[in-house]
């Protein structure tokens, strides 16, 4: 019987009611008294020297309150980068300045030059058109390898080149890896591109800055996944506002997928300008603007090689990747191709020797940063495409080759610095094969053939590291932040419970799933537990939600705080029952003296805590409120096996996804319905990457895919019903709930399954010359590849 | 600025608009009815879908001025008269057809229009109909399932959750 409440139940989401009735409160729904509107005038050239910004005509336009340019931000901090990578030679990465409004140069199409604040949005837009710019256009660098040539134009004049860093991992292993390749019985090599994507949360970014001159307090309402991080970065590094004078609110947020982690110029601008003009300042991003300002994702160009011995054991892996940083370092950009990518190159396999080289490159394009999966999709894609190619070259079953090389002993220390605590890769593979009826594939392929189509099956594995943590480790690796999470549990006198969490929900359903955990621990109805998030004024300092960390890190903090509550409540109950607190048991909201029928209810204890007439005041403070900060001692390692079946129309090269199956091990699951939904969404994004989506620049740095007319988002008829399963469970060994993370798996595991399936279909159709096609596998690309 | 009057969710409303004011803007800014969302500027995403005189339209493509006298229904008008969720809304909750909720108003409005013209749509028909509604969160699985369930079809055979 599936559970009907608490941990493990598919409780329906309470937040749905407001979203389904139009009562959500997203940032753009917030309007403050006396509010002004800002429009940013942005560079329409990719690279240029900014000689003059003449705002005089614009200032005279109707409704204009004030126009800001880079000059107004001299002496104000730039946007900080939150992660410093050290290169192969022990030197820090090159880290350019990132002004809020352009100073001296513009470096990508979309770089903000001036900001017009006016009474209405239309007036701000109109006035921006009257600003006269004198920009000397410079040659742009777009292609990463060209950007590294000696005579390439420099994105940042004060840096020595366009190379941000040249990272080697593990540098000490390089020699041993090369030797293993020299000894290999077989080497498989693959060059591939991990295509640049635009995250495209459906809610465009919005910022509303407000300033209270009476108290000298600033407030920013913003579409963020992590309001405390924004408060710290913006307050401390950009505007110099101490945290106690700055409140950041991220109310209902319409999806993030990484793009709303970062601190953006518009947030700092609205906060800054509101204080300058003493009126609220609101910015609402248009979709066209989002394409040229929201950080992009992926954009890696990689050569990867696998060495195998005569028995087909993997003996070494070597990769060389060029990773696009864009024009500036977005908040966590340097960590993505390094620590979130290199550390995952072992995958599910016991390859003993691995060397990863990453060159991060500045180009005249929008900054690139974490997007759903962040580094781990890139690692998985390379590895799982490569292993498939190796199997084909060796003439062995791709599933068997994987199984032969699976890690089976846990904990397992990889040669790339992480330790998998637990897992069972055979179990998820077995489950997957059971789900997909592999034996029936030939019959389905024959049917497709009769219809004039080519059918293929792609299978792959993935592992990811999520719940990003622990602080001490990430500090050594260059993070300029801690990665704990926090929760305050406040129990009210009549027994209601409010959890104030540092995690942030922008679609993940924390208001429901977090409440399930606390309700289960105490034994009260879920409706008695309220989850508060997204406002620095009423939540403890937290790091927010990304990297599939909410339940693993934020949930753990909440469990710890709830344990403290239960411990204290037991002491109060012991006093009321005249028993020893070690004899008190809590079950279904009742405190009982073990082995007796003496009990008090949860509500009696909570009332006593706040009306302490009969209360052990000499030993215990009144009240029932506890806070915990949880800093995990490892990542969690969800893993699984994915399969995709495709049909290709040989006349057009169009690929249709016939079926997609995902067998995941997420450890213990709090709400299976929500977890499945997370996987579904990730799969659509991975399928989108594999078949449809591509951010495309021309050689002058003009963005060609700058609207939904040109950027192909997956739509309902591009995807099938998915089969998802998370019944294989190896609980995480180091967090109290035994949970892993589930938010990114779908996006990480699915692209190689799709591409493997297409290659399989082509080979079955006799086109054995096609070793690889780069994503997205558009009809044109597939058709061209078929022609040879 | 010109005065327009229309019926929104059964109530007479009026306000002043410019010639360029879109229906979506009039609803959100003029009437402060923020349930209708704006997710793009090329009429592609469908977050803004409302019903005008019984037809589903993208409210970012209609000028408020042109709709003087029209009858408009938005997401705020979709619940049952007693405030409980309508069949479609309830199906979205039951089948987890929403995550961040941003595309949801448009999805519900499109779903209602679909079921009016096609009371028992197949999976393929639902997917084809939603061509103009983008969701980045759900992967569409549970949206399609919810709409089929709202039409009274048995969806229990569709993969769990
Ligand atoms: S806002 Fe109307 S279609 Fe996107
Ligand atoms: S639920 Fe977030 S876009 Fe659809």
The position carrying tokens 């699984």 is A640
Q: Scan for tokens 């593990």, then name that residue.
A: A170
User: A153: buried, middle or exposed (CB in 10 Å: 19+, 13-18, 0-12)?
Assistant: middle
Per-residue 3-state assignment (H helix, E strand, C coil) for A671-687:
CHHHHHHHHHHHHHHHH
Contacts of A766 (CB under 8 A, 6+ apart): none
The answer to whether the Cβ–Cβ distance between A24 and B101 falls below 8 Å is yes
Q: What is the crossing angle of helices B141-150 and B104-117, to 10°?
A: 40
Name the residue in chain B with its Cα closest to that of A674.
Answer: B96
Report the distance separating Cα A782 and Cα A654, nearest Å. 7
Residue A203 Cα to ligand 2 midpoint, Å, equals: 9
| pLDDT value of position A480 | 84
- Verify whether ligand 2 is closer than 6 Å to residue B103 (CB atom): yes
Residue B30 touches partner A, C-beta closer than 8 Å: no
Summarised one tens digit per residue, pLDDT across range B36-54 is: 999 999 999 999 999 999 9
* Nearest-neighbour CA in chain A from B87: distance (Å): 11
Note the ipTM here.
Answer: 0.98
pLDDT at A312: 98
Please count the residues of chain A: 788
Lateral strand order in the sheet of A722-725: A454-463, A639-649, A654-665, A722-725
Using DSSP bridges, classify how beta strands B2-8 and B11-17 pair: parallel, antiparallel or unpaired: antiparallel
Smallest Cβ–Cβ distance between B100 and the set A506, A672, A684 belongs to A506
Tell me how far apart the alpha carbons of residues A66 and A72 are, in angstroms, rounded to a whole number.
11
Q: Which of B23, B47, B74, B134 to mutate to test the pocket of ligand 1 (most atoms within 8 A of CB)?
A: B47
**Contact criterion met (CB below 8 Å) for A166 and A148:** no
At residue A474, the pLDDT reads 84
Task: Classify A294 as helix, strand or coil.
Answer: coil
Distance A290 CA to ligand 2 centre (A): 17
| Residues A741, A640 contacting (CB under 8 angstroms) | no
User: Each residue of B49-93: pLDDT tens digit?
Assistant: 999 999 999 999 999 999 999 999 999 999 999 999 999 999 999
Question: Which residues of chain A fall short of a pLDDT of 70?
Answer: 1-2
Q: What are the chain A neighbours of B139 within 8 Å (beta carbons)?
A: 680-685, 714, 719, 722, 746
The pLDDT assigned to A210 comes to: 98
Are A608 and A617 a contacting pair, CB within 8 Å? no
CA contacts within 13 A on the Cβ side of B87: 12
Kindly list the distances between the CA atom of residue A609 and the CA atoms of A298, A526, A598, in Å, as whole numbers in the listed order: 52, 21, 19
Reference A140, options A168, A111, A115, A164; nearest CA is A111
For the Cβ of A507 lying below 6 angstroms from any atom of ligand 2, the answer is: yes
How many Cβ pairs closer than 8 A exist between chain A and B? 196
Note the pLDDT tens digit of each residue in A446-465: 999 999 999 999 999 999 99
Residues facing B156 on adjacent strands: none
How far, CA to CA in Å, does A638 sit from each of A398, A458, A741? 21, 20, 6
Query: What is d(CA A64, CA A118) in angstroms, rounded to the nearest whole number?
Result: 4
What atom in ligand 2 is closest to the CA of residue A202? 3
Which atom of ligand 1 is the closest one to the Cα of B43?
3
Q: What is the end-to-end Cα distance of chain B in Å, rounded?
A: 50
Distance to chain B for A23, nearest Cα, Å: 6
Cβ pair B142:A257 closer than 8 A = no
Assess contact for A102 and A156: CB atoms under 8 A. no
| Rounded-to-integer distance, Cα A415 and Cα A335, Å | 19
Inter-chain touch B44–A286, beta carbons under 8 Å: no
Q: Could you tell me which of A586, A569, A561, A580 has the C-alpha nearest to residue A495? A: A569
**What is the spatial distance between Cα A685 and Cα A549, in angstroms, rounded to a whole number?**
19
**Residue spans of alpha helices (H) in A672-767:** 672-691, 745-764
The answer, yes or no, to whether residue B31 has pLDDT greater than 60, is: yes
Q: Of all protein residues, whose CA lies closest to atom 4 belonging to ligand 2?
A: B135
Identify which ligand lies nearest to the alpha carbon of B137. Answer: 2
Q: Where do the structural domains in chain B lie, given as residue ranges?
A: 2-77, 87-150
CA-to-CA dists, residue A706 to A287, A666, A690, A698, B24, angstroms: 9, 36, 19, 12, 22
B160 touches chain A (CB under 8 A): yes
Within 13 Å and on the Cβ side, how many CA atoms surround B122? 4
Which residue is closest in CA terms to ligand 1's atom 3?
A: B43
Percent of chain A with pLDDT over 90: 94
Tell me the pLDDT of chain B averaged across its residues: 96
CB-ligand 2 contact for A204 (6 Å cutoff): no
Contacting residues for A718 by C-beta, under 8 A, at least 6 apart: A657, A687, A688, A691, A692
pLDDT over 50 (residue B161): no
Sheet arrangement for strand A599-601: A584-587, A590-593, A599-601
Question: Which residue in B143, B149, B91 sits closest to A681, CA to CA?
Answer: B143
In angstroms, what is the span from residue B130 Cα to ligand 1's centroid?
13
CA distances from A729 to A552, A737, A740, B160 (A): 15, 13, 10, 17
Q: B2-77, superfamily in CATH?
A: Beta-grasp domain (3.10.20.30)
Distance from the Cα of A683 to chain B's closest Cα (Å) equals 7
Which protein residues touch ligand 1 with a CB less than 6 Å away? Answer: B 38-40, 43-48, 58, 60
Nearest ligand, measured from the Cα of B46: 1
Test mutation, B31, B99, B155, chain A, max A CBs within 10 A: B99
Is the Cβ pair A287, B20 closer than 8 Å?
no
Contact B126 A716 (CB under 8 A): yes
Q: Please name the residue whose Cα sits nearest to atom 1 of ligand 1.
A: B38
**B2-77 and B87-150 agree in CATH topology:** no
Its sign, for the CA torsion A754, A755, A760, A765, is positive
Mutation test of ligand 2: which of B44, B49, B99, B130 has the most ligand atoms closer than 8 Å to its C-beta? B99
Could A202 and B47 be called an inter-chain contact, meaning their C-beta atoms sit closer than 8 Å?
yes
User: Is B10 within 8 Å of chain A by CB?
Assistant: no
What's the per-residue H, E or C state across A604-655?
HHHHHHHCCCCCCCCCCCCCCEEEEEECCCCCECCEEEEEEEEEEECCCCEE
How far is the C-alpha of A43 from the C-alpha of A554, rounded, in Å? 40
Q: Residue B160 — pLDDT band, cuts 50, 70, 90?
A: low
B87-94 helix and B141-150 helix, angle to the nearest 10 degrees: 140
Decide: B95 and B146 in contact? Cβ < 8 Å. yes
- B87-150 is classed CATH 2.40.50.1070: no
Hey, are the CB atoms on B159 and A28 less than 8 Å from each other?
no
Q: Which domains does chain A have, with CATH numbers?
A: 16-22+484-630 (3.30.365.10), 31-138+205-284 (3.90.1170.50), 300-469+634-787 (3.30.365.10)
Interface test with B, best of A2, A13, A16, A205 (most B CBs within 10 A): A16
């Amino acid at each position: 019987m599936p559970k009907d409440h608490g941990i493990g139940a598919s409780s329906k989401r309470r937040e749905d009611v407001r979203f389904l009735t139009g009562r959500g409160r997203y940032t753009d729904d917030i309007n403050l008294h006396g509010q002004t509107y800002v429009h940013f005038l942005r560079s329409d050239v990719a690279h240029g020297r900014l000689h003059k910004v003449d705002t005089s005509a614009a200032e005279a336009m109707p409704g204009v309150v004030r126009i800001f340019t880079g000059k107004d931000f001299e002496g104000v901090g730039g946007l900080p980068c939150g992660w410093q990578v050290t290169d192969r030679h022990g030197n820090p990465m090159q880290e350019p300045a990132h002004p809020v409004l352009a100073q001296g140069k513009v470096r990508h199409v979309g770089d903000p030059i001036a900001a017009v604040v006016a009474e209405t949005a239309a007036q701000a837009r109109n006035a921006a058109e009257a600003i006269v710019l004198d920009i000397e256009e410079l040659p742009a660098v777009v292609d990463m390898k060209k950007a590294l040539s000696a005579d390439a134009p420099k994105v940042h004049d004060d840096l020595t080149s366009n190379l941000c860093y040249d990272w080697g991992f593990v540098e000490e292993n390089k020699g041993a890896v090369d030797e293993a390749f020299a000894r290999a019985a077989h080497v498989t090599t693959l060059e591939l591109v991990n295509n640049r994507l635009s995250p495209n949360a459906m809610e465009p970014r919005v910022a509303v800055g407000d300033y209270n001159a009476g108290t000298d307090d600033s407030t920013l309402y913003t579409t963020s996944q992590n309001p405390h991080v924004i408060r710290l970065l913006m307050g401390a590094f950009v505007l110099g506002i101490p945290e106690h004078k700055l409140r950041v609110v991220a109310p209902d947020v319409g999806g993030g997928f990484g793009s709303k982690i970062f601190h953006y110029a518009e947030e700092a601008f609205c906060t800054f300008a509101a204080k300058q003009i003493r009126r609220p300042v609101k910015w609402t991003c248009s979709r066209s603007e989002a394409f040229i300002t929201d950080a992009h994702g992926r954009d890696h160009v990689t050569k990867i090689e696998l060495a195998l011995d005569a028995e087909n054991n993997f003996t070494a892996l070597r990769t060389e990747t060029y990773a696009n940083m864009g024009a500036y370092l977005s908040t966590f950009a340097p960590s993505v191709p390094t620590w979130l990518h290199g550390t995952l190159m072992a995958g599910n396999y016991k390859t003993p020797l691995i060397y990863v080289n990453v060159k991060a490159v500045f180009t005249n394009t929008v900054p690139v940063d974490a997007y759903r999966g962040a580094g781990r999709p890139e690692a998985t894609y390379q590895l799982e495409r490569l292993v498939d190619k190796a199997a084909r070259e060796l003439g062995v079953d791709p599933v068997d080759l994987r199984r032969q090389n699976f890690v089976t002993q846990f904990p397992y220390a990889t040669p790339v610095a992480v330790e998998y605590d637990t897992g069972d890769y055979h179990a998820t593979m077995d489950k997957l094969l059971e789900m997909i009826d592999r034996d029936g594939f030939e019959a389905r392929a024959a049917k497709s053939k009769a219809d004039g189509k080519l059918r293929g099956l792609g299978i792959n594995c993935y592992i990811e590291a999520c719940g990003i943590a622990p602080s001490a480790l990430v500090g050594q690796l260059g993070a300029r932040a801690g990665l704990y999470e926090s929760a305050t549990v406040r129990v009210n006198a009549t027994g209601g419970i409010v959890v104030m969490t540092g995690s942030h929900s922008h679609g993940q359903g924390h208001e429901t799933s977090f409440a399930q955990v606390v309700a289960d621990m105490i034994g009260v109805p879920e409706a008695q537990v309220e989850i508060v998030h997204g406002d620095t004024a009423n939540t403890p300092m937290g790091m927010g939600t990304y990297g599939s960390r909410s339940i693993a890190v934020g949930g753990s903090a909440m469990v710890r705080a709830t344990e403290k509550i239960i411990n204290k409540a037991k002491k109060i109950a012991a006093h009321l029952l005249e028993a020893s607190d070690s004899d008190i048991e809590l079950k279904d909201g009742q405190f009982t003296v073990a082995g007796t029928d003496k009990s008090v209810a949860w509500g009696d204890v909570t009332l006593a805590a706040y009306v302490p007439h009969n209360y052990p005041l000499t030993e215990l403070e009144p009240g029932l409120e506890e806070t915990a900060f949880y800093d995990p001692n490892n990542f969690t390692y969800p893993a699984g096996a994915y399969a995709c079946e495709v049909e290709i129309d040989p006349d057009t090269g169009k690929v249709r996804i016939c079926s997609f199956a995902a067998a995941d091990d997420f450890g213990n699951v709090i709400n299976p319905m929500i977890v499945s939904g997370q996987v579904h969404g990730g799969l659509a994004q991975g399928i989108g990457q594999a078949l449809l989506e591509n951010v495309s620049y021309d050689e002058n740095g003009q963005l060609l895919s700058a609207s939904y007319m040109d950027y192909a988002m997956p739509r309902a008829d591009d995807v099938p019903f998915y089969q998802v399963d998370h019944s294989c469970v190896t609980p995480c060994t180091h967090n109290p709930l035994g949970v892993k993370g589930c938010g990114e798996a779908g996006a990480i595991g699915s692209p190689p399954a799709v591409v493997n399936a297409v290659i399989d279909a082509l080979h079955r159709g006799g086109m054995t010359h096609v070793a690889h096609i780069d994503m997205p596998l558009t009809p044109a690309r597939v058709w061209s590849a078929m022609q040879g | 600025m010109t005065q327009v009057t229309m019926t929104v969710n059964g109530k007479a409303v009026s306000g002043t608009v410019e010639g360029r004011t879109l229906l979506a803007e009039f609803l959100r800014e003029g009437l402060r009815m923020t349930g209708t969302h704006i997710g793009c500027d090329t009429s592609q995403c469908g977050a803004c879908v409302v019903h005008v005189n019984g037809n589903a339209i993208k409210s970012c493509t209609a000028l408020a001025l042109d709709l003087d006298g029209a009858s408009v229904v938005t997401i705020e008008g979709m619940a049952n008269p007693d405030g409980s969720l309508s069949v479609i809304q309830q199906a979205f909750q039951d089948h987890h057809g929403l995550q961040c909720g941003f595309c949801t108003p448009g999805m519900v409005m499109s779903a209602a229009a679909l079921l009016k013209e096609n009371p028992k749509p197949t999976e393929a028909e639902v997917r084809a109909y939603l061509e103009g509604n983008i969701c980045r969160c759900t992967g569409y699985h549970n949206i399609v399932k919810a709409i089929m369930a709202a039409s009274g079809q048995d969806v229990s055979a569709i993969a769990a959750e």
